[in-house]
Structure 1
C-alpha cells in the first residue's frame, strides 16, 4: 500500500483539479502501443485528436514523453518514470469503477484466450480446463500456441490474449509475472535398457546419444543443459532433434537414446511410451513456470478470478 502511495507521489503533487484523467489513459495507451494511431484507436480517438492529446500530455509533464524513431514512439526517461505510477493509479480507479465487481463465475458468460508453450499445453491446461468446467462452465477458453515468445508478449500487451503460461518466457515493463510453480529436469531412457545399468553417471550421460526437443528446428540455441555441461568441460551429442516435446519419449523408447526433459512431462508419458525416468547426474537449477498478464488485467474482476483459478489449478499438478 505504502509503495503504491509513494509511486503515485509524482502525480499527486499536481493540482488534480486541473488534470483530465483521460490524458492519463491516453498516456498508458501510448506507453503500451508506442504508436499514435494504434493508441488513438484503443482510447477511441482519431489520429489528429490523439496527436493533440500527446501535445497536452507534453505540456502537462513538461517533457517530450515520446520521441519518434524508426521502431515507433520511444518513451523518454521521464515517461518511463511515470509509467508505473500512472498504471497503478488507473488500475485502482478501474477496480473501483469496474462493473460486475461481484463477479460470479458460475453465472458468467465470457470468452478468454491464453497462449501457452508446449509445456503449458501438456501440464497446466488439462488441470485448468477441469477447474474451469467445474467452476465456470459458461466461460469459453481459447488456447493458442506460443511460437515466438517475444511476439506473444507483444500480443498480450495489445490485448489480443489475456495471459501467457509457460517457462522461460520474456517479460516487459508493461506486464506482470506470476510464479505458478517450479519445474526440474530429469532424464528418460528406454525402460529395458535402463534396467541393465545400475545408474546413469555423468560419463555415461555424455557418452550416450541424445534426443532433443527444439520447436525452432535444428539444434536450437544452447540451453541450461548445454551451458551446465560446458562448465564441466563436457559436451553431448544430439543424435535426434524433434519438433514436438510429446514425441521425445516415444522416440527414446526401444533405442539407445537418452533425453533430458521437464519432469512432469516425462512422468506423464513414461508408462505409455515405455521409458523410465532417472535422475539427471548433474545439478541443474529448477526453472519457473509462470503466468504473465497485462498490468491492466487486475482491474477486470473476471481476469482477476481467472488468474486465481490458474494458480489454484496448479496446486494439484
Structure 2
C-alpha cells in the first residue's frame, strides 16, 4: 500500500468513530462537521474494503474488521502523538500530580504496596488514589471515560479503546494450617473441606481448579465462602481447611496468619496480571512515567 496516497487523518477519524460510536460526536471530537465526518467514513470504508461501522439503534457498531484494526491503529497513533508531543521534561522528584487507579484485591495486596514505596522515594509529590474494582465492566468504562488513569489486576475485560500490558504471570498454591506441612495428594485435596474467596458470595464463580476437576467428573467441597481474600488464610489457620490462592497473595499473608504454602496437586495454567490504560496516555509525560513505574514494579515481583 502506498502511504503517500493515503490521508493519515482518516486514521484519526477511525479512532474517533470507534470511541464515540456516533458520526456527529466523532466529528466534534476532531473538529469536523458532520458532512465531512460522513465523507471520512466513506473513504475509510473504501480504504479497508469493509463497512467498518454499522448504524444500529444503539449507535454505530464496529464490524469484526474494525475491531481487528482498533489495536494496531490505536497503537500507531499513540506512537505518533508521543513522537510529536512537545518535549516537556517530566521530573518526578519535583512533580505534583494526582493519579487514580482501580485495582482488584490481588492488585491491592501485591502491586500497590511496592508502587507506593516507589512513589514515595522517586515522586513524593504525586498523590495516588486507589479504587477497588468491584464490577470489572464498570471499571473498564471508567477507564475509557478517563475517570481513572489505569486498571491493575487479573482477568480484566478487553476493549479496543484500551491498551493492555502484561506485568507478570501468577500461579496457584494451596495453603493449610502451619501444623500440616506435608504436601497434599490429589485425593487428599478433594477429601478435605475448602475455604473459598468469592466477592459475589454464594458458592462463588467456578474457577480454573473447579473446571479441571469437572473434566475428571470430580468436585471439591466448599465448607466456607468468604467475601474478602485477606480473610481466607486466617479462616484456614487452626483448622482442617485447605484453600487455593494466588502464590504472591498467599506468600504475603502466610506468616502473619499462621499458614503454610504447598503445591497445588493439579496442573493449572498461569494467569496474567495486567495493566490497562487509555491509548492517549503515552502523550502525557507524567502518565507515561507512571505507567513505566508500574511496569518496573511488576518486573520486581
TM range, normalised to the smaller chain?
Answer: 0.7 to 0.9
Using structure 2 for the length normalisation, give the TM-score.
0.88
Match of 2:244 in 1: 260
**1:60 Cα shift?**
3.3
Check 1:89–1:315 CA distance in 2 against 1; reply closer, same or farther (3 A cut). closer
Give 1:77 deviation, angstroms.
5.5
In structure 2, runs of 5+ residues without a counterpart are none
- CA displacement 1:115-172 (0-9 Å, x = unmatched): 1110000000000011011111111111111112222222222222211111111212
Is the 2:13–2:30 Cα contact (8 Å) retained in structure 1?
no
Which residue of the partner structure matches residue 187 of structure 1? 174
Q: Name stretches of at least 5 consecutive residues in structure 1 with no aligned partner.
A: 1-8
Q: Structure 1 CA distance, aligned partners of 2:259 and 2:281?
A: 42
CA distance in structure 1 between the aligned counterparts of 2:123 and 2:94, rounded to whole angstroms: 7
User: How big is the alpha-carbon RMSD for the aligned residues of Structure 1 and Structure 2?
Assistant: 2.5
34, 56, 62: which one pairs with 1:69? Answer: 56
Residue 40 of structure 1 deviates from its aligned partner by 6.2
- The equivalent of 1:103 in structure 2 is 90
| Alpha-carbon distance between aligned partners in 2 of 1:37 and 1:165, rounded to the nearest angstrom | 33
Query: 1:233/1:59 Cα in 2 relative to 1: closer, same or farther (>3 Å)?
Result: closer
Pick aligned residue for 2:133 from 129, 141, 146: 146
Point out the more displaced range, 84-93 or 145-154. Answer: 84-93
1:291 counterpart = 2:278:
no
Q: Is the 8 A contact 2:16 2:30 kept in 1?
A: no
The Cα offsets for residues 92-122 of structure 1, whole Å up to 9 and x where unpaired, read as 3321332354222112222211111100000
SS in 2 for 1:87: helix
C-alpha distance 257-170 of structure 1, shift in aligned 2 (>3 A): same
Aligned length: 297
Residue 273 to residue 82, structure 1, CA distance change in 2 (3 Å) = closer
The secondary structure found in structure 2 opposite 1:107 is: coil
Residue in structure 1 matched with residue 79 of structure 2 by the alignment: 92
Deviation, 1:191, is 1.8
C-alpha separation between the residues in 2 aligned to 1:230 and 1:152? 31
